[in-house]
Amino acid sequence: MQIRKVLQLLVAKWAMDRSPALVHALGLVRARTHDEAADLQELRRVAADVEPWSRATPLHVTASAVIVHPPSRRVLLRWHARQQAWMQVGGHGNRGEDDPLEVALREAREETGLDDVRPWPDSRGPEILHVVVVPVPANDEEPAHRHGDLRYVLATDKPDRAEPENDGSPLRWLEVSKAMELTTEPNVLETLHRVEHLLWTSA
């Protein structure tokens, strides 16, 4: 039993050395539902892998964000052709990236053109809003796989400057209630419920 505990500590230290920002971020998450607890546990195991962000693995980490405009209590959704759904912005980490917040910020800027996005409501200690493992259908380039998505909330002061990165990925600013009606993904609906709570309690 003692040997097993030592091995667990060594694995945990190795994971921290390999992906310190990711391991730290996951360590701060407190699951709110049974499903989220199961997904979080699975992702903590993935974080101990050699390449938790690698697209070559059947389950890998991604980071995303719901962008909000707090004064109007609106959220920004992007059309994802692969999922055929309106969802938050986000995606994969690039080689050398480890901090999920930095990945979410980069993806948000790239997909919307908004250069002022920032963690919200507390820029001093941004927290992951929602952890969820989601299936991704196959396409011509990749087989079906799963994303372990770490979701944040980012804010902008310049909502009118949002521009889609291409014609196939339109953006829409919506009141949260309208966004909930538009999405077809139950996990995105849960994320939006949490965003709605923040928008009303952080006003």
Q: Give the pLDDT confidence of 110-158 residue by residue, as tens digits.
A: 999 999 999 999 865 678 999 999 998 888 888 999 999 999 999 999 9
Q: From 129, 63, 67, 52, select the one nearest 92 (Cα to Cα).
A: 63
Separation CA 73–CA 48 (nearest Å):
38
- Alpha-carbon 58 to chain mean position: 17
CA distances from 185 to 39, 132, 166, 188 (A): 16, 12, 23, 5
Q: What is the pLDDT of residue 15?
A: 46
Residues of the chain with pLDDT under 70: 1-18, 50, 123-125, 203
Q: What is the pLDDT of residue 95?
A: 87
Q: What is the pLDDT of residue 105?
A: 97
- Domain extents for the chain? 2-201
Q: What is the pLDDT of residue 76?
A: 98
- Alpha-carbon 197 to chain mean position: 18
Place of tokens 């230290």: 13
Instruction: Compute the Cα dihedral for 185, 81, 61, 136 and give only its sign.
Output: positive
Q: What is the pLDDT of residue 125?
A: 60
Q: Could you please state the CATH topology (level 3) that the domain comprising 2-201 is classified under.
A: Nucleoside Triphosphate Pyrophosphohydrolase (3.90.79)
